């Protein structure tokens, strides 16, 4: 990066997607020089995230509930339940790929139809999916999980020299295993194998029950007052 200046554009306030009584406002990076793997590597370590080709950070006027969190993969110590899930992982196979398997959309369509039929991603659409999870300037891989050679889960993952960032996961919605958690465990395992230190699973929001799974992976750090601790 030749320059370290950072200009942010603020979005209009809107209803928060996670806390029903709050409003949200995002600070979006507007300088093209940051839209690169190297630029995003610096920004994600400063609490930013990527959605599509935009890099953003919550900058809400009255709320600071969104806390950046990262999992220390090299120091990861599984809980009792995570140890049971790691035993389940041995019956599965995972592989990172630069392209999606041909039959990925069948799995994605079923996941959206059965789990998110009231959300903005319904009905499932290929072009909308790629617009949402990829950026032309970012190195993104697709974690594929197989059971007896059948595709049961995919986790879209941004790849950095020393970290991975979880972007979006979808899986067989009727499967008996907790495939969302298993995707995170596979990402941690890949970090350990490839000597990467961190997995960024996204913002932690203590008051949002759907987000609390992230704190179950220890040790982890939260970015508080600009310091990872």
- Report which of 46, 57, 67 is spatially closest to residue 9, judged by C-alpha positions: 57
Domain at 70-228: CATH code = 3.40.630.30
At residue 166's C-alpha, the angle toward residues 91 and 77, to 5°, is 60
d(CA 146, CA 48): 31
pLDDT score recorded for residue 119: 87
Residues of the chain with pLDDT under 70: 1-3
Tokens of 91: 């019956």
Q: Is the pTM of this model over 0.75?
A: yes
3-state SS of 37-67 is HHHHHHHHCCCCEEECCEEEEECCCCCCCCE
180-204 per-position pLDDT tens digit: 999 999 999 999 999 999 999 999 9
d(CA 136, CA 183): 24
Q: Is 223 helix (H, G, I), strand (E, B) or coil?
A: strand
pLDDT score recorded for residue 209: 87
DSSP β-ladder status, 220-224 and 198-204: unpaired
pLDDT score recorded for residue 143: 98
69-97 per-position pLDDT tens digit: 999 999 999 999 999 999 999 999 999 99
d(CA 89, CA 145): 10
Domain ranges of the chain: 8-66, 70-228
Q: What is the DSSP letter of 75?
A: T
């Amino acid at each position: 990066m030749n320059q370290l200046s950072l200009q942010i554009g603020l979005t209009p306030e809107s209803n928060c997607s996670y806390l029903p009584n709050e409003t949200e406002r995002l600070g979006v990076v507007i300088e093209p020089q940051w839209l690169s793997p190297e630029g995003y590597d610096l920004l994600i370590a400063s609490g930013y995230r990527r959605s599509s080709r935009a890099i953003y950070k919550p900058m809400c006027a009255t709320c600071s509930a969104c806390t950046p969190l990262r999992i220390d993969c090299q120091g990861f110590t599984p809980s009792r339940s995570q140890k049971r899930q790691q035993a389940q992982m041995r019956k599965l196979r995972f592989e990172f790929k630069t392209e999606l398997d041909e039959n990925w959309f069948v799995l994605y369509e079923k996941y959206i139809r059965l789990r998110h039929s009231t959300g903005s991603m319904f009905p499932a659409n290929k072009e909308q999916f790629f617009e949402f999870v990829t950026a032309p300037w970012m190195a993104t891989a697709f974690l594929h999980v197989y059971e007896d050679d059948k595709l049961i889960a995919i986790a879209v993952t941004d790849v950095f020299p020393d970290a991975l960032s979880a972007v979006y996961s979808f899986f067989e919605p009727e499967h008996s295993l907790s495939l969302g958690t298993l995707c995170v465990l596979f990402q941690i395992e890949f970090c350990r194998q490839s000597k990467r230190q961190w997995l960024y699973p996204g913002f932690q929001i203590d008051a949002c029950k759907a987000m609390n799974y992230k704190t179950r992976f220890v040790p982890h750090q939260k970015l508080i007052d600009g310091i990872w601790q």
